[in-house]
Amino acid sequence: MTRKQRRGVLIGTCLVVLGVAVGLVLYAMRDSIVFFYSPSDIAKMEIAPGQRIRLGGLVETGSVKRDQGTTVHFSVTDGAKVMPVTYTGVLPDLFREGQGVVTEGAVQPDGTFKADNVLAKHDENYMPPEVAAKLKEQGVWREGDAGTAGGKVTTQ
């Protein structure tokens, strides 16, 4: 075997080992990867019930209803579509109607979203980047009025 052939075999072996390593890492992370969607994205896509996702948007005004105990029902909107959400637990102090929110959970077979984690924005000028990007796509985002995160949300 010539020196050039040995180098080729070494490079080929390294590429195969690297490919196997990347494949194993992706396989190990398959359950922990959670994608972000807006209510419009969920309406367009076929998301299997039970698949973990993040749902982001604005808490629809007038939609927050509390059951007995710690169960709360509210809707998340991106200006175009609305997704009903059920959450059992203590909501963050900054959770309010009309504010940005990111929830993590799964779509139920009845079309509602059952959240097991709710993240609210941390001040009045901040909007989660994913939510801001989706609101910009929907045309309900106005640039430049607030904070470093981008702008102010206007409702239609």
Burial class (CB in 10 A: 0-12, 13-18, 19+), 94: middle
User: Percent of the chain at pLDDT above 90?
Assistant: 39
Closest CA to 103 of 51, 149, 53: 53
pTM of the model: 0.64
* Residues forming a β-bridge with 102: 56, 119
89-109 mean pLDDT = 89
pLDDT band at 87 (very low <50, low <70, confident <90, very high): very high
Question: How far apart, in whole angstroms, are the C-alpha atoms of residue 65 and residue 67?
Answer: 7
